[in-house]
């Protein structure tokens, strides 16, 4: 052993018995442990990346980039074929708002002919149809005859369909040629572009997204509040009953987890519909007349009732896990110090359950904001939420970019909420189980 | 027992308590406390001490009987109107409030003005030497500091009666002894009445004016510490308080203040009769280790002696412990002071031992 080791005050850096710096040796020893820990989480990490992060990334990129108008992937060869090359070049040369001239129409005709050749015209038409509805057939119709067109192309195309002169159409094509666009976000917020490319509000009767965002937020907040009001006493009971009884009660709380979501939702239909069990009972007992049976399903009421029921356990469990360890002596202490039972509850018990309220509230709210199947089944038209619209764009209108934009906005909203919660309450003040 | 001249401040009158309707946790409790007394309830775990305290504080209702505070029955008064300060075993300091807020709580719920509140909180914290800790959270305090805060909180609204349920149970020995002293000191200074619960006999003996020894829901003996230690009334108290040697036997002869007991092995010893009355009765004789004599010059005149064999000698610093075989028992202990010239008995030695008849107490056979 060297002198430096036996007298640390004389040497600057401590060393191990064989003379290596102590810090380096420690780092190496810890690195080995860290590596081993990393290998253990590696499968999960890969899983999360493949099934979660990559899809979210794709969704985000799809919401700002839709190449359907200018790029085509050949089904047989798998090669990427550029589309509308001349037209894109014309858009690049001429500023926004330029009246399309003969050269533009020529480029369009060439592009249409090429699109028909590569069988990509359906994709192009669909893409433009997102923005100017009713144009899809125009594209297929014109493309069929594009090869035989003679100059002047402007007249020739207008001959096929007068709408080719529509400035909104040209504006849409210009936007669709860009490799980056915020137009889907505009659409998701009920904005669109006019012929000159200015951002304008869509007509009143076509504005649905803001309304749905608002409705989703309001209903989710209401459902969260309801689950809190209903769940708090249950959680308290669970936490204070002797274990023997509370276990039984816990089974009832967990029961919804063990039955299929579909079964639960459809049983609400059986209960709530106007010819359903509840209405029948009320009519039978004379509480309401046969002619004014209450409409409790296929509207917002149905959505709220069914979702509150389904999400209740997500509120009860975090509350329970926070309440269980709260010693009854706290409330007793408050009482012995002169507080009425209400004051003791409000000043001593309630503040200690805040982490549970926060966790449960956040959980229920986030789940409610993204809930899809229940509103779809029992919501009717007035009980639809934003996720139903996302699903519509994914499955029916096939406007995936708009769906992605809506979903991204929803994600941003949830993250914002999370951030707010962290600022107001502190995220370490969150207890989920 | 002598009746106190004033009406008692705290009174349990034939109180019974059952949680499940099948067993009595507290059986016929009668207890009277004058104002200003420091009374300790001492007993093994599960003997019903906490239950008594909870009934007094109002968190449990007596199944039968009356509890009176200052002459008035309190059975129907809710806990927050009883004005009783309470220190809980786990302190029960509110974790989401600072120390000062904890102390201000009882004043706040009484609607006291903010400035008065602050002054009183300050005084109370000073009283337990925690003046600088008002802004801390309970989680940032050590066990002893929490204990002080809990004490200050129970005292800040100036209750006349303070209940403490094993308040020092979670502290280490040194801190516990220090806090015992401080609590006792506060009791004297403030003139409050204290009901103190513990299962630690040393604590009970050092702090209390009177000690109530609990077992099985019954007060076995209620007496000042010295009387409890020197004159236990029954074999439970004798066994529970301090160390003691037990010898079983039958009463051979009995007078007013002296009984002769024949042990199972045939020897005769002297004892003071406590709760034995007649010849032939089974008895348990209790002798404190420090009252056993082995030097013939110290033997009481006319007292019986008994043969003993030294089994073990343990050096304990201030004293010696000698384990003896006496009358067939291998666990008879004799304690002697480590004085100049004190003899150290070697294992294997046989010698007669004796004691003053007053120091051996003939109790009921358990
Ligand atoms: N809330 C309760 N419900 C039922 N039994 C209880 C309750 N509290 C205490 N007991 C029972 O009463 C007996 C006395 O308890 P306790 O008063 O806490 O004793 P100690 O404080 O002397 O240890 C024990 O047997 C205990 O199990
Ligand atoms: Mg207890």
pLDDT for A5 beyond 70: no
Cα separation of A167 and A194, whole Å? 9
pLDDT in tens, B331-350: 999 999 998 888 889 999 99
How does pLDDT run across B228-266, given as a tens digit for each residue? 998 888 889 988 998 889 999 999 888 878 889 999 888
Q: Which of B93, B94, B139 is the best residue to mutate to test the A interface, defined by the most A CB atoms within 10 Å of its own CB?
A: B94
Query: Does the domain formed by B245-364 have CATH 2.40.50.140?
Result: yes
CB of B69 within 8 Å of a chain A CB? The answer is no
The C-alpha atoms of residue A227 and residue A237 are separated, in whole angstroms, by 15
- Compute the distance between CA of residue A274 and CA of residue A261 in angstroms, rounded to an integer: 22
Judge if the upstream peptide bond of residue A152 is cis by omega within 30 degrees of 0. Answer: yes
CA of B25 to the centre of ligand 1 (A): 7
Task: Note the residue count of chain B.
Answer: 366
- Please say whether the beta carbons of A330 and B138 come within 8 A: no
- Whether A128 shows a pLDDT value over 60: the answer reads yes
Q: What phi and psi values does residue A163 have, to the nearest 5 degrees?
A: -65, -10
Q: Work out the mean pLDDT of chain A and round it to a whole number.
A: 88
Test B153 with A352 for CB contact under 8 angstroms: no
CA A180 to chain centre: 21
Neighbours of B172 (CB within 10 A): 10
Instruction: Give the Å distances, CA to CA, from A218 to A224, A304, A343, B336.
Output: 10, 11, 31, 83
- The CATH number of A209-429 is 1.10.3720.10
pLDDT number for residue B5? 58
Given pLDDT bands bounded at 50, 70 and 90, which one contains residue A179? confident
Q: What would the pLDDT profile of A305-352 be if each residue is shown by its tens digit?
A: 999 999 999 999 999 999 999 999 999 999 999 999 999 999 999 999
Nearest CA among A380, A370, A355 for reference residue A413: A370
Q: For B116-138, what is the mean pLDDT?
A: 93
Check: CATH 3.40.190.10 for B8-235? Answer: no
Closest partner residue to A338 (CB to CB) among B59, B90, B110 is B110
Residue A4: pLDDT band with limits 50, 70, 90: very low
Q: How far apart are CA A168 and CA B134, in angstroms?
A: 70
CA A29 to ligand 1 center in whole angstroms = 52
Q: Is B46 in the pocket of ligand 1 (CB under 6 A)?
A: yes
Please tell me the distance from the alpha carbon of residue A250 to that of residue A273, in angstroms, as a whole number.
29
Q: Report the C-alpha gap between A367 and A414 in whole angstroms.
A: 10
Determine contact: B19 vs chain A, CB below 8 A.
no
| C-alpha–C-alpha distance, residues B143 and B146, integer Å | 5
Residues in A touching B81 (Cβ below 8 Å): 338
Reading the block at residue B125, the tokens are 């914290």
Mutate to test the pocket of ligand 1, among B18, B42, B51, B213 (most ligand atoms within 8 A of CB): B51
- Ligand 1 mutation pick, B21, B24, B25, max ligand atoms within 8 A of CB: B25
CA nearest neighbour of B332 among B284, B289, B275: B289
Mean pLDDT of A393-422: 90
Q: Give the environment of ion ligand 2: residues with CB less than 5 A.
A: B 50
Say what the pLDDT of residue A1 is. Answer: 40
Whole-prediction pTM? 0.79
Domain ranges for chain A, please list them: 2-64, 67-204, 209-429
Ligand 1 pocket, B354 CB below 6 A? no
Please determine, for the modelled complex, whether the ipTM score is greater than 0.85: no
Q: Where do the domains of chain B lie?
A: 8-235, 245-364
């Amino acid at each position: 052993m060297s002198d430096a080791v036996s007298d640390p005050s004389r040497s600057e850096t401590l060393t191990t018995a064989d003379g290596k710096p102590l810090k380096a040796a420690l780092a190496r020893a810890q690195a080995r442990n860290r590596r081993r820990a990393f290998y253990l989480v590696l499968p999960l990490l890969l899983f999360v990346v493949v099934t979660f992060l990559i899809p979210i990334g794709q969704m985000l990129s799809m919401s700002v980039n839709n190449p359907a108008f200018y790029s085509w992937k050949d089904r047989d060869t798998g090669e990427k074929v550029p589309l509308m090359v001349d037209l894109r070049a014309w858009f690049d040369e001429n500023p926004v708002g330029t009246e399309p001239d003969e050269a533009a129409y020529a480029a369009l005709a060439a592009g249409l002919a090429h699109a028909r050749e590569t069988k990509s015209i359906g994709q192009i038409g669909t893409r433009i149809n997102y923005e100017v509805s009713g144009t899809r057939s125009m594209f297929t119709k014109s493309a069929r005859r594009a090869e035989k067109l003679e100059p002047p192309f402007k007249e020739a195309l207008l001959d096929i369909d007068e709408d080719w002169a529509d400035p909104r159409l040209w504006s849409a094509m210009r936007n669709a040629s860009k490799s980056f666009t915020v137009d889907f976000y505009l659409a998701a917020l009920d904005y669109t572009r006019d012929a000159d490319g200015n951002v304008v509000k869509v007509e009143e009767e076509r504005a649905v997204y803001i309304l749905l965002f608002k409705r989703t937020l309001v209903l989710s907040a209401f459902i969260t509040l309801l689950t809190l009001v209903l769940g708090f006493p249950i959680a308290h009971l669970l936490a204070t009953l002797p274990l023997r009884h509370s276990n039984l009660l816990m089974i009832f709380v967990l029961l919804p987890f063990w039955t299929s979501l579909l079964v639960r939702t459809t049983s609400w239909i059986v209960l709530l519909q106007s010819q359903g069990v509840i209405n029948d009972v009320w009519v039978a007992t004379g509480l309401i007349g046969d002619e004014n049976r209450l409409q409790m399903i296929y509207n917002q009421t149905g959505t709220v009732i069914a979702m509150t029921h389904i999400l209740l356990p997500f509120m009860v469990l975090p509350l329970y896990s926070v309440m269980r360890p709260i010693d009854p002596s706290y409330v007793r202490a408050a009482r012995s110090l002169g507080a009425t039972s209400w004051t003791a509850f409000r000043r001593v018990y309630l503040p200690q359950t805040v982490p549970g309220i926060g966790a449960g509230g956040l959980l229920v709210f986030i789940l409610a904001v993204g809930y899809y199947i229940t509103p779809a089944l029992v919501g009717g038209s007035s009980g639809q939420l934003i996720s139903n619209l996302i699903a519509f764009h994914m499955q029916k209108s096939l406007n995936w970019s708009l769906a992605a934009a809506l979903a991204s906005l929803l994600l941003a909203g949830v993250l914002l909420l999370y951030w707010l919660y962290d600022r107001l309450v502190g995220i370490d003040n969150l207890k989920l189980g | 027992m002598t009746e106190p001249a004033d009406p008692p401040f705290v009174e349990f009158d034939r109180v019974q308590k059952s949680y499940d309707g099948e067993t009595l946790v507290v059986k016929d409790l009668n207890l009277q406390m004058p104002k200003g007394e420091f009374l300790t309830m001492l007993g093994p775990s599960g003997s019903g001490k906490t239950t008594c305290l909870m009934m007094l504080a109002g968190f449990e209702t007596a199944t039968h009987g009356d509890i009176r505070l200052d002459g008035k029955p309190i059975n129907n008064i809710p806990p927050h109107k009883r004005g009783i300060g309470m220190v809980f075993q786990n302190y029960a300091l509110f974790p989401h409030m600072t120390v000062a807020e904890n102390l201000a709580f009882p004043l706040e719920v009484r609607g006291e003005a903010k400035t008065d509140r602050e002054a009183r909180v300050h005084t109370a914290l000073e009283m337990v030497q925690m003046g600088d800790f008002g802004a801390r959270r309970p989680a940032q305090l050590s066990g002893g500091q929490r204990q002080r805060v809990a004490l200050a909180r129970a005292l800040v609204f100036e209750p006349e009666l303070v209940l403490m349920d094993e308040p020092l149970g979670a502290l280490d020995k040194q801190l516990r002894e220090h806090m015992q002293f401080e609590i006792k000191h506060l009791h004297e200074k403030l003139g409050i009445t204290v009901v103190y619960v513990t299962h630690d006999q040393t604590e009970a003996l050092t702090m209390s004016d009177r000690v109530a020894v609990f077992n099985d829901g019954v007060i076995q003996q209620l007496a000042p510490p010295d009387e409890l230690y020197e004159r236990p009334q029954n074999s439970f108290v004798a066994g529970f308080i301090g160390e003691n040697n037990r010898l079983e036997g039958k009463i051979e002869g009995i007078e007013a203040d002296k009984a002769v007991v024949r042990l199972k092995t045939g020897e005769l010893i002297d004892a003071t009769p406590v709760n034995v009355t007649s010849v032939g009765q089974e008895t348990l004789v209790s002798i404190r280790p420090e009252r056993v004599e082995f030097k013939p010059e110290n033997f009481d005149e006319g007292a019986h002696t008994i043969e003993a064999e030294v089994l073990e000698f343990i050096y304990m610093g201030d004293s010696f412990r000698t384990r003896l075989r006496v009358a067939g028992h291998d666990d008879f202990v004799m304690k002697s002071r480590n004085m100049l010239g004190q003899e150290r008995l070697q294992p294997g030695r046989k010698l007669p031992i004796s004691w003053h008849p007053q120091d051996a107490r003939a109790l009921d056979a358990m």
